[in-house]
Structure 1
């Protein structure tokens, strides 16, 4: 696996997570890692301007509130197909009319210097189109996960951003969350010896059966594409390795009419180069949220492990004590701090990382559909 950043509590607080930190004084003009100017503000008050594309529940309940707590970025614009939402958000967040777009006028964002980053928060099937269009409009991009439905789309998104000389991040918020960073450290640094077994599972009971997540053409699949990606990430960042094979099984559907288009529950098992194995569950009918690692000389776990927090952890030596942060604020600040500093984004949150996950998602489905072990390397 591409090297993941494992920060200590002190390093984390000194870096991206301490809201009490003051902004550094920046020299104007500010350039990004690819030599492009960041022009929406200047001086020590400089913040990256972010436009949210899609104003569904995640934007409304998580990202927009988080952007009121960020140090290095701000909510600068919105893209929505609903005029009532546009009016509501303009009033609530003091967004000027000039920074409000619909899906037909989206490409005009190229002429807006207030917006530096476009955050794509749309159904999975729409990610590729809007990431590519955002790059062509000269904006850096953050894309929600999974990055896309197919590996081919992922590559097209990566290529478009490279061609436009813009950076592409994927919404791996947990990579900036201190409990998660601690289990990365424990596993990858073999604090309890080599990792032997990982249980990484994420599931919940889904509500509205008519939502886009229940339509394969929009979501790419069911629970695996939605929350299963967290379990995939968990097994990978605890071991610090890429799996070499996968087996998987669909569970019989208990509500076949509700889940006629996507899977209800799926199980899968990874094998890693070191000999470590993982077992995972993802489901839309029951709740579980756990990341557990058994090692040669002990164990550690997070439970809850993948939700919006607060997360909770413990080890065979006692509880994990880490600061509680707003995940979305820490993630967006982490990305935008690097952009302001003119740095390339770390590999573990880029499009290449997103493509790796999509490749694994597709391999899990293939294994479940064929009943065969699928080689991954």
Structure 2
């Protein structure tokens, strides 16, 4: 089994099969929204990219009430056949990478979830937008901020919504920490630490291919620290410094980062210290410190269960399947105009890309890079 980020995160997770029943459990045994009858609009989704994470999303969507898997887009005919049988997908909703523009003429698909290697997102999202369908794109949204902005512009021009797969923006423990911060329970925020990493395996995988991944650990696991610093602190950074360390030049070719440490500065004076790496395990931790208290989450971004504590004690929010909740919420955003606590739109994705562009620049030049998001 390849030691990819997907498998690493699963080390922190209970099995996906075990988790599928958990969204149905409410607090104190009371039925939650998943047990309530639903009679509203349903977002009909085609998944593009039928790899390990696409499979995870598909499985999670089986528990959704507001979103339904209705189509697939893949370059592998055998996968399409497997998914057709498993998820009862009609032939007319199956496409390959060459002909998926034809979804323009398919009224039974509302949105496409793009789950392909990073370098493919830009062109695929723009093609989906031109076909008149809403888009959900995995993170990082693109290889750089310029590409990301072009995607946002294309979706705006086509009058379709562009969302990014920020599943943590809907995760209950994460939202509780954000609620506590907004309520002033930590007092003035002073410091954030984000540690994200694992020891990557198979050297031939696309995540270690500069052309497909656009970088290395930062573009894969480090984005969680970039994005997490923003939603945990509740501000946008104004400067960044960074340092890159590389111990295995054979595995990590030029342009593929092994380890990057980076620091962010925020307008209020908060600083963040973060680590992104492909060469160390046991790293999935967020820490937020304030004048009146703290929040610590470990695991902080794995597939679940997320665990954490604050100065007030353990966090005991419901354990959920992240992708199920994400797709339910994204359905509400696309179909009903719901505003989430933390945005998941394309503009949010561009902000992360601007920060990552600056991190790479700072690591290369050794200089402090100013940010304007």
Give the structure-2-normalised TM-score: 0.88
Q: 1:275 aligns to what?
A: 269
Whether the 8 Å contact between 2:169 and 2:342 is mirrored in structure 1 is no
Equivalent residues in 2 for 1:89-100 (5 A)? 89-100=83-94
Instruction: Verify: 1:81 aligned to 2:81, yes or no.
Output: no
Q: 2:60 aligns to what?
A: 66
Instruction: Verify: 1:246 aligned to 2:261, yes or no.
Output: no
User: Shift of the alpha carbon at 1:342?
Assistant: 4.8
Distance 2:66 2:319 in 1: 19
User: Shift of the alpha carbon at 1:344?
Assistant: 6.9
- SS of residue in 1 equivalent to 2:72: strand
Change (3 A) 1:346 1:135: farther
Distance 1:206 1:189 in 2: 39
Distance 2:251 2:335 in 1: 46
Aligned counterpart for 2:333 among listed residues 307, 330, 338:
338
Distance 1:53 1:273 in 2: 39
Structure 2 unaligned blocks of 5 or more: 1-25
Whether the 8 Å contact between 1:339 and 1:345 is mirrored in structure 2 is no
Distance 1:338 1:187 in 2: 24
- SS of residue in 2 equivalent to 1:304: coil
Whether the 8 Å contact between 1:198 and 1:277 is mirrored in structure 2 is yes
User: Shift of the alpha carbon at 1:345?
Assistant: 7.2
Distance 2:367 2:183 in 1: 33
Q: 1:290 aligns to what?
A: 285
Distance 1:203 1:285 in 2: 7
Q: 1:123 aligns to what?
A: 117
Distance 1:343 1:304 in 2: 28
Moved more, 335-344 or 186-195: 335-344
Q: 1:32 aligns to what?
A: none
Q: 1:22 aligns to what?
A: 37
Distance 1:187 1:226 in 2: 27
For 1:205-225, what per-residue CA distance to the aligned partner results, in whole angstroms no more than 9, with x for missing partners? 112111111011111110001
Q: 2:229 aligns to what?
A: 235
Aligned counterpart for 2:202 among listed residues 208, 216, 219:
208
Whether the 8 Å contact between 2:135 and 2:163 is mirrored in structure 1 is yes
User: Shift of the alpha carbon at 1:338?
Assistant: 2.8
Structure 1 unaligned blocks of 5 or more: 1-11, 27-45
Aligned residues: 341
Moved more, 187-196 or 291-300: 187-196
Distance 2:345 2:367 in 1: 31
Distance 2:214 2:223 in 1: 12
Whether the 8 Å contact between 2:169 and 2:341 is mirrored in structure 1 is no
- SS of residue in 1 equivalent to 2:135: strand
- SS of residue in 2 equivalent to 1:348: coil
Q: 2:348 aligns to what?
A: 353
Give the structure-1-normalised TM-score: 0.87
For 1:137-158, what per-residue CA distance to the aligned partner results, in whole angstroms no more than 9, with x for missing partners? 1100000001101211111111
Instruction: Verify: 1:220 aligned to 2:235, yes or no.
Output: no
Distance 1:345 1:175 in 2: 8
Instruction: Verify: 1:255 aligned to 2:221, yes or no.
Output: no
Moved more, 190-199 or 340-349: 340-349
Distance 1:166 1:130 in 2: 14
Whether the 8 Å contact between 2:231 and 2:342 is mirrored in structure 1 is no
Q: 2:323 aligns to what?
A: 328
Whether the 8 Å contact between 2:117 and 2:212 is mirrored in structure 1 is yes
Whether the 8 Å contact between 1:188 and 1:239 is mirrored in structure 2 is no
Whether the 8 Å contact between 1:169 and 1:345 is mirrored in structure 2 is no
Distance 1:349 1:205 in 2: 28
